[in-house]
Amino acid sequence: MRNFVFLVIAGFLGIYGNAQDVITGSIPNWANGSGQVGVMSMGPPEVVGTFDADGNIEIPLKADALSEIKAQLEASESDSSNGWTASIPTVGERFACGGQGAELNLSGSEELITGLGGAMGFLLVNMEERKRYGYLLIASSQEFAEGLQPYKFKPGYALGWYYVDNEASAVGTCTSESYAMNQEDTYRKSTTYQVNLKKGWNIVKYEIEEVFTDKEGNSYPQKESYTTLESMPEGVGFVFLED
């Protein structure tokens, strides 16, 4: 079972909207040595930052994020022999109703978008030793992070960083009738978007505002939202989820 440690963020740099160029913080009482901050990929974790022996974390936010990803995809496609190709999602694909009974007001929907963090979080690893310590989320609480697995969802939020080359937006609310796992209980789910992306990096808050709990005690996001922020909210923290 994972052990969850809630860590208050300290020393964030450049926290003013898309002007941010690095995420920094520290893990108190860290005693596992140095390593890398990574994200999930098709193969080994993709390294996006580092942490030292004192638990000080640094995640650079590259100014040419999309250009680098495009170059990587082109290189992988030229080396691929099975015809498999990957693509970068658009704003319209990333923030969408998915046929949920409403259409969003989209601007710049064809703009490519890439991101870090959010509900998926980061990995803490040591690539040389092939060791994984666990997950790291930038979130509102330990309880929220612990609930990001089926079906133990709790109210709270996580922060993600999203990059676009040009301004784009997604505004509106999607609603749908949803079934619980028991296929008996139903609830009306809503997802609200107030996403206004500036050129460069943007902070986006994913929040579960309300949950629905079925007869068996399983819980599901019932009212959720995505909102761009101009700066880091007060009280947000690093949540370390040990493997």
What is the distance between the alpha carbons of residues 67 and 75, in angstroms, rounded to a whole number? 12
Pairwise pLDDT comparison (69 vs 20), residue with the higher score: 69
Residue in the structure block whose two tokens are 């990957």: 86
Token output for 48? 């996006």
Q: What is the largest CA-CA distance in the chain?
A: 52
What is the average pLDDT across 3-26?
A: 52
Mean pLDDT of the chain: 87
What is the average pLDDT across 38-55?
A: 92
pLDDT at 1 over 50: no
pLDDT digits (tens, 9 = 90+) for 108-127: 999 999 999 999 999 999 99
Pairwise pLDDT comparison (9 vs 103), residue with the higher score: 103
Q: Which DSSP state fits 88?
A: P
How many residues in total does the chain contain?
Answer: 243
3-state secondary structure of 67: helix
pLDDT digits (tens, 9 = 90+) for 161-170: 999 999 999 9
Alpha-carbon distances of 201 from 68, 112, 183, rounded to whole Å: 15, 13, 41
